[in-house]
Amino acid sequence: MQTDSSFTFVLFGGTGDLSMRKILPALYEAHRAGGMLADSGKIVAVARHAADRGEYIQWVNEHVKPHVSKNGVDATAWSSFLERIEFVKIDLGNPEDFALLRDAVKDLPGIRVFYLATGPSLFVPICRALASVGLNENARIVLEKPLGYDLKSSNAINDAVGEIFAEEQIYRIDHYLGKEPVQNLLALRFGNALFEPLWRREWVESIQITIAEELGVEARGDFYDNTGALRDMVQNHLLQLLSIVAMEPPHSMDSDSVRDEKLRVLRALKPIDPLDIGKVAVRGQYHSGVIRGTAVPAYATEPGVKPNSTTETFVALKVEIENWRWAGVPFFLRTGKRLADRVAEIVVNFRAVPHSALGASALRAGANRLVIRLQPNETIRLYCLAKQPGEGMNLASVHLDLAFDQFFREGQMEAYQRLLLDVINGRLALFVRRDEQEAAWRWVEPILNEWKASNKPPKPYAAGTWGPAAASAMLAQHGTCWLEEEN
Instruction: Reply yes or no on whether the pLDDT at 269 is more than 90.
Output: yes
Residue ranges of alpha helices (H) inside 60-201 are 75-84, 98-105, 123-132, 151-162, 180-190
CA–CA distance, 338 with 295 (Å, rounded to integer):
11
Instruction: Reply yes or no on whether the pLDDT at 180 is more than 80.
Output: yes
CA–CA distance, 234 with 176 (Å, rounded to integer):
12
Instruction: Reply yes or no on whether the pLDDT at 284 is more than 80.
Output: yes
How many other CB atoms sit within 10 Å of the CB of residue 21?
Answer: 15
Q: Which domains does the chain have, with CATH numbers?
A: 7-144 (3.40.50.720), 196-407+433-476 (3.30.360.10)
Strand runs labelled E in 178-321: 204-212, 281-287, 289-291, 294-296, 314-319
Average pLDDT over residues 228-235: 95
How much is the pLDDT for 4?
Answer: 59
Q: What confidence tens digit (pLDDT) does each residue in 125-178 have?
A: 999 999 999 999 999 999 988 788 899 999 999 999 999 999 999 999 999 899
Cβ(237)–Cβ(336) under 8 Å?
no
CA 440 to chain centre: 14
The percentage of the chain sitting over the pLDDT mark of 90, rounded to a whole number, equals: 71
How many other CB atoms sit within 10 Å of the CB of residue 386?
Answer: 10
Cβ(286)–Cβ(338) under 8 Å?
yes
Cα–Cα distance list, 56 to 110, 183, 220, 253, 442 (Å): 23, 35, 24, 39, 42
Average pLDDT over residues 454-475: 95
Instruction: Reply yes or no on whether the pLDDT at 2 is more than 60.
Output: no
b/e map of 299-336 (b: 16 or more CB within 10 Å)?
bbebeebeeebbbbbbbbbbbbbebebbeebbbbbbbb
CA–CA distance, 259 with 427 (Å, rounded to integer):
12
What pLDDT band is residue 366 in, cutting at 50, 70 and 90? low
Residues with catalytic roles: 237
CA-based radius of gyration for the chain: 24
Instruction: Reply yes or no on whether the pLDDT at 3 is more than 60.
Output: no
Cβ(443)–Cβ(310) under 8 Å?
no
Task: State how beta strands 204-212 and 343-350 pair.
Answer: antiparallel
Higher pLDDT, 300 or 183: 300
Instruction: Reply yes or no on whether the pLDDT at 365 is more than 80.
Output: no
Instruction: Reply yes or no on whether the pLDDT at 408 is more than 80.
Output: no
Q: Which range has the worst mean pLDDT, 80-89, 141-150, 239-248, 317-326?
A: 141-150
Cβ(185)–Cβ(372) under 8 Å?
yes
Q: Across the strands, what pairs with 339? A: 465
How many other CB atoms sit within 10 Å of the CB of residue 180?
Answer: 17
Q: What confidence tens digit (pLDDT) does each residue in 367-396 have?
A: 899 999 988 888 888 998 888 888 777 788
Maximum average pLDDT range among 3-12, 252-261, 313-322: 313-322
What pLDDT band is residue 398 in, cutting at 50, 70 and 90? confident
How much is the pLDDT for 41?
Answer: 95
> 275-280: long-range contacts (C-beta < 8 A, 24 or more apart)?
277/446, 277/447, 277/450, 277/451, 279/318, 279/474, 280/317, 280/318, 280/319, 280/474
DSSP assignment of 392-425:
S--EEEEEEEEEHHHH--SPPPPHHHHHHHHHHT
b/e map of 117-148 (b: 16 or more CB within 10 Å)?
bbebeebbebbbbbbebebbeebbbbbbbbbb
How much is the pLDDT for 409?
Answer: 62
Instruction: Reply yes or no on whether the pLDDT at 262 is more than 70.
Output: yes
Residue 353, φ and ψ in degrees, nearest 5: -65, 145
Average pLDDT over residues 228-249: 95
Give the orientation angle of helix 98-105 with respect to helix 123-132, to 10 degrees: 60
CA–CA distance, 160 with 145 (Å, rounded to integer):
16
Higher pLDDT, 89 or 455: 89
Element housing 469 (H / E): helix 469-476
How much is the pLDDT for 412?
Answer: 72
Prediction pTM value = 0.92
Q: 398: alpha, beta or left, given left = phi > 0 and alpha = psi -120 to 50?
A: beta
How much is the pLDDT for 344?
Answer: 94
Q: What confidence tens digit (pLDDT) does each residue in 191-220 have?
A: 888 888 899 999 999 999 999 999 999 878
Cα–Cα distance list, 148 to 94, 325, 337 (Å): 23, 32, 21
